[in-house]
Structure 1
Amino acid sequence: MLRSVAALVVDGMAPFEFGVVCEVFGVDRTDDGVPPFDFRVCAERPGEPVRTGVGVTLTPDRSLDDLVAADLVAVPACTIRPEYPPAVLDALQEATARGAAVLSVCSGGFLLGEAGLLDDRPCTVHWRYAEEFQRRFPKARVDADVLYVDDGNLITSAGTAAGIDASLHIVRRELGARIATLIARRMVVAPQREGGQRQFVEMPVPECTADSLQPVLLWMLETLTEEHTVAELADRAAMSERTFARRFVAETGTTPHRWLTTQRVLHARTLLEQSALSIDEIARLAGFGTPALLRHHFQRVIGVTPTDYRRSFSA
């Protein structure tokens, strides 16, 4: 049973991510039927101000001993640094050895990695830090595509909103869907986004230079419902097929077919969010033709079905 939650704060803490943990676990919602949490804000030196990254300070009142004794230790995002306080890392190790679950939000995962908690464990982090994270912790099994990863006593999440998803997931796992929904309703957020959902990294059109493919890419975006062959695209770019294919990968990082498919998925995503069109009509307008083809590619790129995505994000 989840009864006590300790939020770890260190210098350089990100206030919003800290606030996510406070909002889910630190607010008294017993009037709504949510069980109370023994919520603790813990630091190496309780009573001393901790600096944040936005020019304000926070003064925690609980020690690392209180953190070690908690059922769940939450590590919000903080400034990434070469080293972290040894006492903090020791406390994280002691808490997990004692049986606590550990949650990281965004760059808070770097503290878990530095404490050796991610060795041979599946985990995630914000996509922006994924390469650095993997270089620094080569034994960690990083999946930078997903919102959060639940590996039993280790729950890691990506950016800010994913921290909300992971926190509510823990509540759902430990206390049931009803309690998680009560908290989500008060927060006015979706009660559940599956962890396997993608982090939604866009594939932008490259900025125009003298030899850029931008005019061709823009034309492809304007004609999503049409079929495009490499021969046709190369002819439009006034290049040979081989040169065009090589240049396309160099400029976009992927092949013409995969780039076009992803742009169609992103357009379908916008229609799911902002319109009441049927799935059949969205499939047609996005260039997939059939709902089955839309579902296949949408789930591959986004990680959930179009129907599930609309349920969570439709205006």
Structure 2
Amino acid sequence: MSSILITGGCGFLGWNIARGLTQLGERVVCYDIKQPDPRLIQWQNDTTKIVEGDVKYFEQILGVIRDERVKKIVHAGAIVGYTSKVDKIIQYIRTNIEGTLNVLEATRVMDLDKIVFISSEEVYGTFQYESAKETHPVNPLGIYATTKCAAESLINLYYMEYGINCLILRTCWVYGPGLPRDRAPWFLIEKALKGEEAFLENGGDQKSDKTYVDDLVQAVRLALSNNKVKHRIFNVASGQVTTLGQMISLIKRIVPGARIGVGSGLLNNSQKVKMPQKGALDISRAREELGYQPQYNLEKGLGKYICWLKNHL
């Protein structure tokens, strides 16, 4: 039986994607430098295999593809977040750019069927208009966004030169079971459930389209199976915009008595750099060509996530 390789397969996105694919009867190989979140390990079954490895090493990837009869890849492995430290920037480049190049070259050498690449709305930078289409100008701000943009360029090169079949999913602010606890502003939910007080000094006006992880999993499933698309880049989100202040209000409604809050303004990536202002993503292309239909607005998604988190604190 052939398998689907998921790079970063034990991370938050990768492990949720693995769960969704195995529910369809697929055999999945989770390729990662770490183990899954202990809170989610029960999702592993007979059709899920964990292989320790790093996308920075081409021969490792090639060996796994050969040994596990891989025919498709979901490339979710990446270092995420903001940094301005030079040593960290080098790590981002090696993992996010060189790692993508290794995945593409292994796909070419082994003549695989398809890659689905998990990208980000960060490639757009500050939104020039809403809702942002896939044709929105690309203006990456920060090393994470820059490496995602570079990875997309490599994918385009391999498509033009070698005909590599790769679809790019640009998603944003994904949340749900297994989300790393220390990510702002999501740690506020845990504070609310524990009855602890927490307040962010700024960020209440930060706008974004927030994606429940099951919707991203749906999009990955569709991208892997659909071979009749006109385009190769798709926005995947809820298609709705909310501010962080509105999100805090929803959390307080779901968790009565929650002592959390946020000040006005935008979130900061660092003391010097503010986070780019975002907005809703236009998901009409994914609807029309992939059949994507998001099932979660923010209130519904937060309710499901908070219900899960209550049992896993």
The structure whose Rg is larger is: 1
Q: TM-score, normalising length from structure 2?
A: 0.37
Bigger strand share:
2
